[in-house]
Amino acid sequence: MRFGLCTGPENLELAGRLGFDYIECAVTAVESMSDSEFDDFYERVSKSPIKPECFNVLFPGTMRLIGPEADYGKISEYLVKAFDRVKTLGGRLVVFGSGRSRAFPFSMPYCDAFRELIGKTRLIGENAAKHGLSIAIEPLNTEETNCVNSVREGAMLEAAASHDSVGLLADLYHILKENEPLANIVSANRFIHTHIARLDGRAFPTVCDKDVEAFISTLKQIGYNGTMSIEGKADDLEADADAALKILRNL
């Protein structure tokens, strides 16, 4: 596997020094940069041994994807600029989490919301394909969104969207938060990206507990050998990232 760190652009050099293979930045962070800020970051990336290969936080929380507030034109316009910058920086994969953006009004029937989500996922996939990018659907726990809260639901959305640029992500924290069985990973079988953090405090995996071991073991069982990003909270970023990376590489 190749291991990355979910962090801001300011920590590119730190992640490289610690031995990570890449960093995973927020799309919203690079999309909102001024032209001069983006040029400065691009210059740093061009000199770095590692790149921001993966990106998360695809949409700002104020941009709605489902329901009466969703604006197809604004979404499309946003994706063009965002994906252009992602590709320029060397990105290859974008995580579609964005829990607030994809949440639907409680007054809206779930089946109608899911149909809209299928359409928006296809739209994201179509725009990604034009930039040579892949999209990883991220199931999120029910405290963060009310739509696609399990690996199984994520697999259903992937199948319904039916786009070559759209795949699935497994995130240990959300799986544990929802008490989802790891057997669902085996059932879904195909993943294009993974995230990891411990349930307690969403902490970095600085210790090799049973949940971390089981997650890695299950991914090995299905032959997964792709990317895994640490996405969590750290008391001391450098120390925790260093310790977590050593644990993951050993496993």
pLDDT of residue 57: 98
Which residue type occupies 36? S
Burial zone of 84 (CB within 10 Å; 0-12 exposed, 13-18 middle, 19+ buried): middle
Q: pLDDT at position 89, please?
A: 98
Cβ partners under 8 Å of residue 125, min gap 6: 135, 161, 163, 164, 165, 166
Q: What is the β-pairing status of strands 134-137 and 166-171? A: parallel
pLDDT at 198: 98
State how far Cα 229 lies from the chain centre: 8
The arithmetic mean of pLDDT across residues 149-154, rounded, is 98
* Per-residue model confidence (pLDDT) at position 45: 98
Per-residue pLDDT tens over the stretch 99-149: 999 999 999 999 999 999 999 999 999 999 999 999 999 999 999 999 999
Phi, psi of 173, rounded to the nearest 5 degrees = -60, -50
127 CB-side CA count, 13 A: 22
pTM for the predicted model, two decimal places: 0.97
What residues does 25 pair with on adjacent strands? 55
Cα gap 161→155, rounded to integer Å: 10
Structural contact between residues 41 and 30, judged by C-beta atoms closer than 8 angstroms: yes
Q: How far apart are the first and last CA of the chain?
A: 10
Mean pLDDT, to the nearest integer, of 230-246?
98
With a CB cutoff of 8 Å and minimum separation 6, the contacts of 23 are 4, 5, 6, 7, 11, 12, 15, 50, 51, 52, 53, 54
Of 156, 192, 197, residue with least CA distance to 175:
197
Total domain count, the chain: 1
Farthest-apart Cα atoms in the chain, separation = 50
How many CB atoms within 10 Å of residue 248?
Answer: 18
Q: Quick one: pLDDT at residue 111?
A: 96
Reported as a single tens digit per residue, the pLDDT across 182-191 is 999 999 999 9
CATH number of the domain bearing residue 49: 3.20.20.150
> What pLDDT sits at residue 218?
98
Report residue 21 CA to chain centroid gap: 16
Residue pair 170/197 in contact by the 8 Å Cβ criterion:
no
Task: Name the percent of the chain lying above pLDDT 90.
Answer: 100
| Alpha-carbon gap, residue 221 to 250, rounded angstroms | 17
User: By residue range, what is the domain housing residue 37?
Assistant: 2-250
Question: Which residue type does 172 have?
Answer: L
Q: What is the pLDDT of residues 34-59, one digit of tens each?
A: 999 999 999 999 999 999 999 999 99
**pLDDT value, residue 19:** 98
User: Which residues 6+ apart lie within 8 Å of 25 measured at CB?
Assistant: 6, 7, 8, 9, 52, 55, 56, 89
3-state secondary structure 134-145: EEEECCCCCCCC
Per-residue model confidence as pLDDT tens digits over 153-182: 999 999 999 999 999 999 999 999 999 999
Residue 62 is predicted with a pLDDT of 96
Q: In the Cβ-directed half-sphere of 221, how many Cα atoms lie within 13 Å?
A: 14
| pLDDT score of 24 | 98
Residue 223 neighbours by CB under 8 Å, 6+ apart: none
